[in-house]
């Protein structure tokens, strides 16, 4: 069910929500949080689709604020157009889309305050361009968790460095969330004999991959060994992390991406294994971040301390996996 409310107010939107619940039987009693998405006009649907999918695990109210992309469009007459989606059009959530024009777009906090679920946590998500200081932005001030995506910024590595300086507890970034499967696989490899100390690490990935630097910083912190961050040409048309090499006395452990969703594990005196390591979708990343509403202390440590201790990345050629 979709209800359009052109040229409206927050008060009218609240009344429409009450009417929909009374007449259609849609209830919000099971909602566990409010997700506020800040994006640009015309770029809302991908984020809404991800939120709808994630809502099957986390029933929630989704408030989408979209504003003008071009400065010239910001001179429009102040106006607020809204759309409410419930039922099959909103997954297990209810979606309130706010399209703000002119001066109306300058008060994001005021637009959402009257629509937040009472006594429920607030999570803010910027799927595109992030504010200068996330925690001090209008939406960041009212949110317990604040989600950005370095990969969506014009300069991902510069954005991560900036985030390391402006980090506040509750901040997180999808470049960290995309590392979950890599971190789990690397931990599983090191949890098997021989239990030898790691003496050095190399992490290589595409130049546009902010996750590669975070993985190198995490490994350097956890293993307490030097880690090299290498930029290489993407293989198989695939960007992102390309692989990890860990050195120890008995030889080198290699975990290299050989296909879009496959990595090859090569270890000394062990058979070669192909392992499924899929690239995480927007829905998967969002669902994972919504599972915890307290600050991610490990991410805070990696982004503030680990990234600063990591040497500048080096540029190399493509990596070839040595089959055992």
Residue carrying structure tokens 């099959």? 88
| Cβ–Cβ < 8 Å for 157, 213 | yes
Structure-model confidence comparison of residues 317 and 155, the more confident one: 155
Q: Assign 149 to helix, strand or coil.
A: coil
Residue 117: what are its φ and ψ, rounded to 5°?
Answer: -65, 135
Write out pLDDT tens, residues 83-111: 999 887 777 789 999 999 988 888 999 99
Domain membership of residue 170 (yes or no) is no
pLDDT class of 113 with cuts at 50, 70, 90 = very high
Q: Is residue 125 located within the same domain as residue 249?
A: no
Q: Assign 87 to helix, strand or coil.
A: helix
Q: Measured between alpha carbons, how far is 126 from 129 in angstroms, rounded to an integer?
A: 7
Domain membership of residue 84 (yes or no) is yes
Q: Is residue 187 located within the same domain as residue 111?
A: no
pLDDT value, residue 1? 84
Q: Is the pLDDT of residue 318 over 60?
A: no
pLDDT value, residue 324? 32
Q: Is residue 116 located within the same domain as residue 202?
A: no
* pTM, two decimal places: 0.91
Q: Is the pLDDT of residue 27 over 60?
A: no
Token digits for 41?
């006009």
pLDDT value, residue 323? 35
Q: Is residue 138 located within the same domain as residue 199?
A: no
Q: Is residue 204 located within the same domain as residue 89?
A: no
Q: Give the bridge partners for 273, in sequence order.
A: 265
Domain membership of residue 153 (yes or no) is no
Domain boundary among 148, 164, 192: 148
Q: Is residue 50 located within the same domain as residue 136?
A: yes
Residue 133: what are its φ and ψ, rounded to 5°?
Answer: -125, 105
Domain membership of residue 72 (yes or no) is yes
Q: What is the mean pLDDT of the chain?
A: 89
pLDDT class of 187 with cuts at 50, 70, 90 = very high
Q: Which domain holds residue 184?
A: 180-315
Q: Is residue 144 located within the same domain as residue 223?
A: no
Domain membership of residue 262 (yes or no) is yes
Q: What is the CA radius of gyration of the chain?
A: 22
Q: Measured between alpha carbons, how far is 244 from 230 in angstroms, rounded to an integer?
A: 10
- Split into its structural domains, the chain has a count of 2
Write out pLDDT tens, residues 198-224: 999 999 998 889 999 999 999 999 999
Residue 28: what are its φ and ψ, rounded to 5°?
Answer: -115, 15
pLDDT value, residue 90? 72
pLDDT more than 90, % of the chain = 71
Q: Is residue 257 located within the same domain as residue 297?
A: yes
Residue carrying structure tokens 């939406």? 139
Q: Measured between alpha carbons, how far is 255 from 265 in angstroms, rounded to an integer?
A: 5
Q: Is the pLDDT of residue 123 over 60?
A: yes
Domain membership of residue 89 (yes or no) is yes
Write out pLDDT tens, residues 223-267: 999 999 999 876 555 578 999 999 999 999 999 998 888 999 999
Helix (H) or strand (E) holding 255: strand 251-259
Of 246, 226, 241, 240, the closest CA to residue 309 belongs to 226
Q: Which residues contact 12 (CB under 8 A, 6 or more apart)?
A: 5, 82
Domain membership of residue 35 (yes or no) is yes
Q: Measured between alpha carbons, how far is 293 from 109 in angstroms, rounded to an integer?
A: 20
Domain boundary among 129, 148, 167: 148
| Cβ–Cβ < 8 Å for 113, 25 | no
Q: Is the pLDDT of residue 28 over 60?
A: no
Q: Is residue 18 located within the same domain as residue 137?
A: yes
pLDDT more than 70, % of the chain = 91
Q: Is residue 12 located within the same domain as residue 136?
A: yes
Domain membership of residue 168 (yes or no) is no
Helices (H) and strands (E) in the chain, counts: 10, 15
Q: Assign 310 to helix, strand or coil.
A: coil
Token digits for 138?
């209008």
Token digits for 257?
């991406």
Of 37, 7, 63, 84, the closest CA to residue 286 belongs to 37
Mean pLDDT within 147-174:
96
Tell me the angle at which helices 180-190 and 210-223 cross, rounded to the nearest 10 degrees.
30
| Cβ–Cβ < 8 Å for 51, 37 | yes
Token digits for 17?
């929500």
Domain boundary among 128, 148, 168: 148
Instruction: Annotate 98-144 with three-state secondary structure.
Output: EEEEHHHHHCHHHHHHCCCCCCCCEEEECCCCCCCCHHHCCCHHHCC
Q: Is residue 220 located within the same domain as residue 129?
A: no
Write out pLDDT tens, residues 271-291: 999 999 988 999 999 999 999
Q: Is residue 6 located within the same domain as residue 144?
A: yes
DSSP states of 150-212: GGGSSSHHHHHHHHHHH--TTEEEHHHHTTHHHHHHHHHHHTSSS-PPP-EEEEEE-TT-HHH
């Amino acid at each position: 069910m979709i209800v359009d409310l052109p040229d409206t107010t927050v008060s009218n939107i609240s009344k429409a929500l009450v009417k929909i619940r009374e007449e259609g039987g849609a209830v919000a009693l099971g909602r566990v949080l409010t997700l506020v998405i800040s994006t640009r006009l015309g770029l809302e649907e991908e984020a809404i689709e991800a939120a709808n999918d994630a809502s099957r695990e986390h029933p929630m109210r989704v408030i989408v604020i979209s504003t003008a992309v071009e400065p010239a469009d910001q001179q429009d007459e102040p106006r607020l157009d809204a759309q409410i989606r419930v039922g099959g059009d909103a997954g297990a959530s209810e979606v309130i889309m706010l399209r703000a024009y002119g001066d109306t777009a300058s008060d994001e906090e005021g637009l959402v305050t009257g629509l937040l679920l009472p006594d429920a946590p607030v999570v803010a998500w910027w799927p595109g361009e992030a504010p200068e200081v996330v925690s001090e932005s209008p939406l960041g001030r009212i949110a317990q968790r604040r989600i950005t995506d370095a990969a969506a910024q014009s300069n991902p590595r510069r954005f991560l460095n900036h985030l390391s300086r402006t980090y506040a507890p509750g901040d997180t970034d999808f470049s960290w969330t995309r590392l979950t499967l890599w971190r789990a696989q690397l931990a599983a490899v090191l949890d098997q004999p021989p239990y030898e100390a790691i003496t050095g690490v190399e992490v290589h990935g595409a130049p546009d991959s902010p996750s590669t630097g975070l993985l190198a910083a995490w490994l350097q912190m956890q293993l307490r060994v030097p880690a090299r961050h290498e930029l290489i040409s993407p293989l198989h048309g695939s960007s992102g992390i390309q692989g990890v090499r860990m050195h120890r006395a008995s030889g080198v452990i290699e975990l290299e991406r050989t296909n879009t969703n496959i990595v090859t594990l090569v270890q000394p005196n062990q058979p070669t294994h192909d392992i499924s390591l899929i690239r995480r979708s927007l829905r998967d990343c969002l669902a994972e971040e919504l599972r915890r509403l307290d600050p991610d202390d490990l991410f805070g440590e990696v982004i503030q301390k680990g990234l600063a201790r990591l040497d500048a990345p080096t540029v190399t050629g493509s990596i070839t996996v040595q089959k055992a």
